[in-house]
Amino acid sequence: MNSNIQRFLRESGLKILSVSDLSACEYSLLTFLLNSAMTGMENLLSSEREIASIIGHSARDVRQSIEDLHGRNFIKCHYGNGSAAPNMQSLGLQIQWDVERWKLGIKEVPSHNEALILPFRRAVTRLTVVPDTRQDPDKSQENSGSSDPHGDTASRIINAFSNGRDFDERDLEATKQLSAVLIAAHPIDQILVMIRHFGKRIPSLSLLASNWAQYVEKYEDEHLTIDFVGVRKKHHDLDQKVRDASLSALERRDMTELSEEEGNVLNVLAYHRHPRRQLFWAFQMRNRYPKLAEFFKATQDLMLPITEGDMVVKLTTD
């Protein structure tokens, strides 16, 4: 086994691939290249048509997969001089063995801002911010001088993992990339719970990403209280109930004569990444959407409690 493959396996390349955002054709192509490399053909010379016939996808899908994987630094590729038809041109392919160069399929890094639709907050005067009584006073004082107390999702993971560790720039960049892999595969709250619970028992985020199930099992063995899989499924089911109710209301928009703004609200709730958070903010402005009264009445129990930083947002009592 050559040094490139050994390095790839040592850095958990296969396990990182398993949580990357790739299409079926892209996975098939990478598996084919890995298999070729293991048999000694690390630099593969072929054509799009030949590869398509081997991996069982169309030449068009293979061409698109090659372009996408090359653009994201998963592979290196080089076409011939262009005198032949596109799918008949000679093509050189090789895996990019340095996994730190990979762009791991995160089109957009999620942040706390995804939980808000700012127009829903306009002119809301009945909300008050109540300090969380469980808040650590020392932590509160530490954060009080920060210009951005929220931070984005990836920064929360990096800060939690880097606590008590000495990182150089290379380590920090690798941690940023791997935090994006974790965010794509698991809820942020679960990731933070795992990092804070195990601390330095997690030598790298790469190991956490590639052995997530084992860490969850160990965590449950130590606590015997949290079913991560069940909790995540419950959250997905509740999110889907909001989406289904929104789509059902949209189908009846002609009968109920919804305004354009009311229709936009339902569209956001039907297709947003976090519909129950959006429902909370829409509910605060329900007086602006009188024809959605029945919808809010039917779905208000599904609203997700909203927090910002270390504060809890609640409705004031009259």
Domain containing residue 96: CATH number: 1.10.10.10
Q: Residues 254, 120: one domain?
A: yes
Q: Residues 82, 94: one domain?
A: yes
Highest mean pLDDT among 84-88, 242-246, 256-260, 284-288: 242-246
pLDDT tens figures, 104-162? 754 444 444 444 444 444 444 454 555 544 445 454 444 444 444 334 678 888 888 88
Q: What are phi and psi of 39, to 5 degrees?
A: -95, 10
Q: Residues 87, 118: one domain?
A: no
Q: Residues 266, 218: one domain?
A: no
Domain boundary among 205, 223, 241: 223
pLDDT classification of 170: cutoffs 50, 70, 90: confident
> Is residue 51 pLDDT above 50, yes or no?
yes
Domain boundary among 203, 223, 243: 223
Q: Residues 273, 289: one domain?
A: yes
Q: Residues 231, 142: one domain?
A: yes
Q: Residues 59, 172: one domain?
A: no
Residue type, 280: F
| Range of the structural domain that residue 169 is part of | 152-223
Residue by residue, DSSP assigns 207-259 as HHHHTHHHHHHHHHHHH----HHHHHHHHHHHHHHHHHHHHHHHHTHHHHT--
Q: Residues 8, 90: one domain?
A: yes
Q: Residues 217, 238: one domain?
A: no
Average pLDDT score, the chain: 76
Domain boundary among 196, 223, 250: 223
Q: Residues 76, 209: one domain?
A: no
Counted domains in the chain: 3
pLDDT tens figures, 208-226? 888 888 888 888 777 755 5
Of the listed ranges 3-12, 52-61, 138-147, the least confidently predicted one is 138-147
pLDDT classification of 184: cutoffs 50, 70, 90: confident
From residue 235, give the alpha-carbon distance in Å to each of 76, 205, 305. 40, 25, 13
Question: Nearest Cα to 268, choosing from 234, 298, 242, 300?
Answer: 242
Of all residues in the chain, what percent carry a pLDDT higher than 90? 4
Q: Residues 134, 72: one domain?
A: no
Q: Residues 211, 134: one domain?
A: no
